[in-house]
């Protein structure tokens, strides 16, 4: 894919167990989206908005560490892909830093900081009694 189709800040391919990019899965990070493109003849693209990422995890297996690769698992508030895996990419810690930078930038842009920390409010009074919502 040409770079002029969309401006990306990072791209890589899914790697084999030898660390070689022999795959038809390609990852793109733009300023606002993360795109996974799979396939050769029949191509499928999956996009997710970066501000929807709730949590990230880095998985480094022994085989991947030997070839300098790792997998990043993102939990996303998305209907299609609630768990997004960026499998076997080179320099995964650098990719995590780049993701953090653009996720924070997009959360600030859309003012979504802190929304994932809100829980259910249980309507208790200060004296510890449950408020049933009926006015006495």
Residue predicted with more confidence, 113 or 59: 59
Helix (H, G, I), strand (E, B) or coil at 46: strand
In CATH terms, the fold of domain 3-111 is PH-domain like (2.30.29)
Helix (H), strand (E), coil (C) string for 57-117: EEECCHHHHHCCEEEEEEEECCCCCCEEEEEEEECHHHHHHHHHHHHHHHHHHHCCCCHHH
Beta strands 69-76 and 53-59: pairing type?
antiparallel
Q: Indicate the pLDDT class of residue 110, thresholds 50, 70 and 90.
A: confident
The mean per-residue pLDDT over the stretch 116-135 comes to: 51
Residue 136 has pLDDT above 70, yes or no: no
Residue 14 has pLDDT above 60, yes or no: yes
6/76 Cα distance (integer angstroms): 22
Percentage, residues of the chain above pLDDT 90: 68
Q: Indicate the pLDDT class of residue 132, thresholds 50, 70 and 90.
A: low
Q: Indicate the pLDDT class of residue 27, thresholds 50, 70 and 90.
A: very high
What was the pLDDT predicted at 129? 52
> Does the model's pTM come out above 0.95?
no
User: What is the per-residue pLDDT across 69-87, written as a single tens digit (0 to 9) for each?
Assistant: 999 999 999 888 899 999 9
């Amino acid at each position: 894919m040409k770079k002029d189709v969309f401006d990306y800040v990072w791209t890589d391919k899914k790697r084999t167990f030898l660390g070689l990019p022999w795959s038809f899965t390609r990852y793109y990070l733009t300023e606002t989206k993360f795109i996974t493109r799979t396939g050769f003849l029949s191509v499928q693209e999956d996009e997710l908005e970066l501000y929807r990422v709730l949590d990230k995890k880095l998985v480094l297996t022994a085989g991947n560490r030997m070839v300098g690769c790792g997998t990043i698992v993102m939990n996303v508030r998305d209907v299609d892909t609630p768990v997004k895996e960026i499998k076997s990419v080179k320099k995964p810690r650098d990719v995590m830093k780049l993701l953090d930078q653009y996720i924070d930038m997009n959360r600030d842009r859309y003012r979504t900081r802190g929304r994932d920390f809100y829980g259910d409010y249980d309507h208790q009074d200060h004296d510890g009694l449950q408020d049933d919502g009926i006015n006495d």
